Amino acid sequence: MAIEKNFLIINKLGLHARAATQLAKLAMAFDAKISLTQGDKTADADSVLGLMLLESSQGKEVLVRCDGPDQDAALSAIGNLIEAKFNEDE
pTM: predicted TM-score of the whole model, two decimal places = 0.96
- The confidence score (pLDDT) of residue 30 equals 98
- The confidence score (pLDDT) of residue 7 equals 98
How far apart CA 73 and CA 52 sit, in angstroms, is 23
* Catalytic choice (16, 33, 60, 85): 16
24 is catalytic: no
Q: Are 64 and 79 within 8 A, CB to CB?
A: yes
Give 29-75 pLDDT, tens digit per residue: 999 999 999 999 999 999 999 999 999 999 999 999 999 999 999 99
Q: At what angle do helices 71-83 and 17-28 cross, to 10 degrees?
A: 160
Q: Are 4 and 63 within 8 A, CB to CB?
A: yes
**How does residue 90 score in pLDDT terms, banded at 50, 70 and 90?**
confident
How many separate domains does the chain show? 1
CATH number, residue 78: 3.30.1340.10
> Using alpha carbons only, how large is the chain's radius of gyration in Å?
12
Q: 63 is in which domain, residue-wise?
A: 3-87
